[in-house]
């Protein structure tokens, strides 16, 4: 599996007019996946370690996996077509009846939240990673701009 996938991390989550931009990448390249606001917020809350009063959908799924003795092994963003990304969640089950690996089709956004919550790896298929535009400079520019805005003294202070 090592040569056909690339390990990535979440490098940033930025709100947009229609949802959120999730920046994924490694030292070589960063790319963006656009997700709806609710999942973007779930990713950001997970990254920030926000504790919720009541479980959200992704929390419920994580609890179900634990309750069923199933471990999320990893997720893979495995395809991109016409600006839409696709992912697979790989679950590992082991009980008195034996071992089983289950692979599920999923949205990358949901896959990312679950992987972050379970502290499991996120991979991108090499063919997808090689085919996306490098957004590293854009992310660095946005982060720099945000840092400068946060450093500016507020009016009336």
Q: Establish if 111 belongs to a structural domain.
A: yes
pLDDT digits (tens, 9 = 90+) for 85-107: 999 999 999 878 789 999 999 99
- Position 116 scores a pLDDT of 95
Give rounded-to-5 percent helix, strand, coil for the chain.
35, 40, 25
Considering its fold, how many domains does the chain have in total?
1
**What's 72's domain CATH number?**
3.10.690.10
Whether residue 105 contacts residue 88, with contact meaning beta carbons closer than 8 Å, is answered with yes
Q: Establish if 157 belongs to a structural domain.
A: no
Q: Name the band, by pLDDT with cuts 50, 70 and 90, for residue 52.
A: confident
What six digits make up the tokens of 59?
A: 């929390």
- C-alpha span between 75 and 140 (Å, rounded): 26
pLDDT digits (tens, 9 = 90+) for 5-40: 999 999 999 999 999 999 999 999 999 999 999 999
Q: Establish if 35 belongs to a structural domain.
A: yes
Q: Establish if 94 belongs to a structural domain.
A: yes
Full residue range of the structural domain in which residue 32 is found: 5-151
């Amino acid at each position: 599996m090592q040569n056909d996938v690339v390990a990535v991390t979440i490098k940033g989550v930025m709100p947009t007019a229609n949802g959120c931009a999730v920046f994924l990448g490694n030292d070589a390249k960063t790319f963006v996946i656009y997700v709806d606001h609710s999942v973007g917020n779930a990713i950001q809350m997970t990254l920030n370690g926000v504790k919720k009063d009541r479980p959200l959908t992704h929390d419920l799924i994580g609890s179900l996996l634990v309750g069923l003795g199933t471990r999320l092994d990893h997720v893979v963003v495995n395809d991109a077509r016409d600006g839409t990304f696709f992912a697979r969640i790989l679950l590992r089950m082991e009980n008195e009846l034996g071992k089983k690996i289950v692979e599920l089709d999923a949205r990358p956004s949901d896959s990312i939240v679950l992987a972050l919550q379970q502290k499991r790896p996120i991979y991108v298929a090499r063919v997808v990673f090689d085919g996306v535009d490098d957004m590293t400079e854009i992310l660095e520019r946005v982060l720099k701009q945000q840092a400068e805005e946060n450093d500016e003294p507020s009016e009336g202070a």
